[in-house]
Chain A
Amino acid sequence: MKILVPVKRVLDYNVKVRVKSDQSGVDLANVKMSMNPFDEIAVEEATRLKEKGVATEIVAVSIGPAQAKDTIITALTIGADRGILIQTDQDVEPLAVAKLLKAVAETEKPDLIIMGKQAIDGDNNATGQMLSTLLDWPQATFASKVVVENGEAQVTREVDGGLQTLGVKLPAVITTDLRLNEPRYASLPNIMKAKKKPLETKTVADYGVDVTPRLKVLKVTEPPKRSAGKKLADAAELVANLKSAGVL
């Protein structure tokens, strides 16, 4: 069984995000970039499936600038077998990402795509769903447990009311939630092996996908600063305050 894992290079989760002074976006100059944490969980899950003998090959794919190669190498260090970088300096929106991934899936023919439920930069939570629709494959999003057997994936999902378990026929798209697993720490031998694994570089044109943005960003601003708190005398005053704030 082959698993395709899309991975995205994003601002490291520890970095304090700064908005560019012209409000055109987030300032990415000289800040640490890492693999999207949800994608790391996806690579880890694929690797565990391979270790259990369920999967035989894991292909990591990233869409982004030349430096996204480092993100693929991180995936190869955790356990992916080979990587594909679709190199572009353009900001690629979820729909275009889904179209590119569809094209990759058509050539790679994976049995399963495991990907992060969202990337921590745009927080769109859209690509997995769009990809499943474009491929006309079943989807199981927000996975907290995945069991694959007999051509089917049993996926436990984190939903508002609790946990829901779905059975999806393969091939399928699964998106990961935080509690699916805890990614391992890279081992030194695997860091050394990663750079010897195959990594192909492609362009957007190779897949014939139009990635022209369809959305226009009007402005990006920082959230309003927290104002000072109020000390309340008792619960009644709290309720009154919540009511006047329209929360209750």
Chain B
Amino acid sequence: MAYVAPVRDYQFLFENVFKTDQYSNLKGFADADAGTVAAILEEAAKFAEEVVHPINITGDKEGCTLDPITHEVTAPKGYKEAYKALTEAGWTALSGDPQYGGQGLPHFVNTAFSEMLSGASSAFGMYPGLTEGAISALTAGGTQAQKDLYLPKLISGEWSGTMNLTEPHCGTDLGLLRTKAVPNGDGSYKITGQKIWISAGEHDFTSNICHLVLARLEGAPAGVKGISLFLVPKFIPDADGNPGERNSLQCAGLEHKMGIHGNSTCVMMYDEAKGFLLGAENEGLKIMFYMMNNARFGVGLQGLAIGHAALVAANQFAKDRLQGRALTGPKSPELPADSILVHPDVRRMLLESRALIEGGRAFLAWVSLQADLAHVSEDEKEREKASDYMGLLTPVIKAYLTDKGLKVTQDAMQVHGGSGFTEHFPASQYMRDVRITLIYEGTNGVQALDLVGRKLPSKGGRALQTFLGEIDSYIAAEEADTKVPAYIKALKDTKAKLFDGTMWLMQNGMGNPDAAAAGSLDYLHLFGLTCTAYMWARMAKEAQAQIDAGATDPFFDTKLKIGRVFLERILPDAEAHLIKMKAGSDGLMALTDDQF
């Protein structure tokens, strides 16, 4: 059950749907012409399929091991070699700043690469993924000297990064954190405390690990206003910038988890470890949010990537599995039974999954293009719009794509029948691996609260208004002579429901925050459906245009058939989400604590 990377889908999205060649005047985009991107996608797919995927199942079975005496962690067999190949081929530097040795390619290309890496092995993909987050925090908050010292080594992958937020008593509520920082008098700090669930916290394949640690200075204000961010390297760089003295920090234990066994999830102990302040004192969260937003986008991507991998396996299984006969009479009379592809319910699972994945992938690619435009567009208005979209849509990407990623892996297991429940087939690993994506980087419930409580009202609702305005203009421009009217109508209906839901939140949520919170996840899903309906309208338009222009590639016909499944079997959920959110919180809050 080999992994097959979605090369053709990304080519279609970049070339036909988003037409990224139109931005060739922007920084980084000139190098990302259609031909080069096609070559990158091909080679990235080859790397993911042939180098990374083979260690996915073995890594799951073997897991990481901690030496109780040296406190060093060994990753599963083959991880170190695959990581070396990854850095040698320059993949970690794809979107890195050329000033620090990066390739400077746009983020949308990196998104395609990251999906392939995560789909081939999500546990492995996390190691470079965390480093990417550390790079974004350093870029946002580091001094010039810090950037010069750390960025080249992180971008090349020679060193890796981690993020340390959680403590045993302090998960979602960061205001509770206790790890303390004491100035050394020379500009550095002593960091003391315990951090848990630190992904890639300790491993054997980079010569240094840069921990980004949230801690509290003595006398700092209570709560989130008194949190500072420190860079605490495993080896303190010497005068030449090489790994020097071993810092007083160590991995005290590895978590036993349901999935992502190949990733070392560490308990980290800091015992007066030497740390360097990033940004200003007590303003650590501001910078950490760069890393968190990057990570939230990355987790949404992971949910989609694992879903795609599970679907690939389910498709292959369904084609090969002969069992029973088609209800309308045998399809393969020469064989002892028909393949289970003849059964409408098996098709329902495979095709609903595909409609979710392909719509989700377009959404992800579109938002990553916004990340580029937010940085490099020459038009100030467009930069502002793109940046607003990133804020508004990051929680939707994270929660919608991971919820749907889980649904897809579940259906993939169901297609496998009893075989899927055994470890001889990959379906169960995908389900175990995807499950964490709904939880970490802020649970999906927290994402929904972020969307409703923070992102909607931000700047007087500017981001949402711009987004709804864009959809209205798209409908207005297409409606009259669209070749895919069903998609335009569906987009119009879904967008109207989102608008309705937003109005309901404004009328009911202000006076009763519980009502807003109770409906927040349904609202987020309604939002995700609107975004993907927009994406499907755009994909259908281009696929139809290619067919009308005489293209014979069956890809376009397939795209429209999947799109139809989206309209018929996915989009109707929007109605239910709207009804549920309007039920408010009374029914949920009616029980007393004793009644639980």
Contacts and interface: CB of A to CB of B under 8 A. Distances in A.
Interface of A: 29-30, 70, 73-74, 77, 185-189, 191-192, 194-195
A188 B46 contact: no
A82 B348 CA distance: 51
B93 A188 contact: yes
B90 A189 contact: yes
Contacts of A191: 36, 39-40, 43
Contacts of B39: 70, 73-74, 77, 191, 194-195
B51 A185 contact: yes
A188 B554 contact: no
Contact of A188 (B40, B50, B552, B555): B40
B91 A192 contact: no
B581 to A, nearest CB: 45
Contacts of A73: 35, 39
B103 A192 contact: yes
B31 A192 contact: yes
Contacts of A192: 31, 36, 103
A30 B94 CA distance: 30
Which of B31, B90, B91, B93: most chain A Cβ within 10 A? B90
Interface in B26-42: 31, 35-36, 39-40
B36 A186 contact: no
Given A185-B43, A191-B43, A194-B39, A30 B553 contact: yes
Contacts of B50: 185
A194 to B, nearest CB: 7
A188 B94 contact: yes
A188 B555 CA distance: 27
B89 interface: yes
A186 B103 contact: no
B150 to A, nearest CB: 21
B472 to A, nearest CB: 37
Contact of B88 (A70, A187, A195): A187
Which of A70, A73, A74, A192: most chain B Cβ within 10 A? A192
A189 B104 CA distance: 11
Nearest to A69: B35
A185 B47 contact: yes
Contacts of A30: 552-555
A52 B558 CA distance: 49
B85 interface: yes
Interface residues of B, number: 22
Contacts, number: 46
Contacts of A70: 35, 39
B89 A186 contact: yes
Nearest to B4: A14
A7 to B, nearest CB: 15
Contacts of A77: 39, 43
A195 B85 contact: no
B89 A188 contact: yes
Contacts of B90: 187-189
Contacts of A185: 43, 46-47, 50-51, 85, 89
Nearest to A30: B553
Nearest to A73: B39
Nearest to B40: A191
Contacts of A29: 552
Nearest to A34: B42
A161 to B, nearest CB: 33
A186 B42 CA distance: 10
A195 B36 contact: yes
16 contacts: A30-B554, A30-B555, A70-B35, A70-B39, A73-B35, A185-B50, A185-B89, A186-B43, A186-B46, A187-B89, A188-B94, A188-B103, A191-B36, A192-B36, A195-B35, A195-B39
A10 to B, nearest CB: 15
A28 to B, nearest CB: 12
Interface string B49-87: 011000000000000000000000000000000000100
Chain A to chain B: the 7 pairs with minimum beta-carbon distance, closest first: A188-B90, A187-B89, A186-B43, A30-B553, A187-B90, A189-B90, A191-B39
A74 B40 CA distance: 11
Which of A70, A74, A186, A195: most chain B Cβ within 10 A? A186
A191 B105 CA distance: 12
Given A188-B93, A192-B103, 12 more contacts: A30-B555, A70-B35, A73-B35, A77-B39, A185-B51, A186-B43, A187-B89, A188-B43, A188-B89, A188-B91, A191-B39, A195-B35
Contacts of B88: 187
A60 to B, nearest CB: 15
Contacts of A188: 40, 43, 89-91, 93-94, 103
A77 B47 CA distance: 15
A70 B38 CA distance: 10
A29 B31 CA distance: 29
Contacts of B40: 188, 191
Interface in B1-45: 31, 35-36, 39-40, 43
A29 B103 CA distance: 35
Contacts of A186: 43, 46, 89
A30 B554 CA distance: 8
Contacts of B554: 30
A70 B37 CA distance: 12
Interface string B155-198: 00000000000000000000000000000000000000000000
Nearest to B7: A32
A74 B51 CA distance: 19
A41 to B, nearest CB: 16
Contacts of A74: 39
Contacts of B93: 188
A72 to B, nearest CB: 12
Contacts of B51: 185
Interface string B115-158: 00000000000000000000000000000000000000000000
Contacts of B91: 188
Interface string B91-124: 1011000000001000000000000000000000
A74 B35 CA distance: 12
Interface in B367-396: none
A201 to B, nearest CB: 15
Contacts of B552: 29-30
A228 to B, nearest CB: 10
Nearest to A188: B90
Contacts of B36: 191-192, 195
Which of A74, A77, A188: most chain B Cβ within 10 A? A188
B589 to A, nearest CB: 54
B541 to A, nearest CB: 21
A186 B43 CA distance: 6
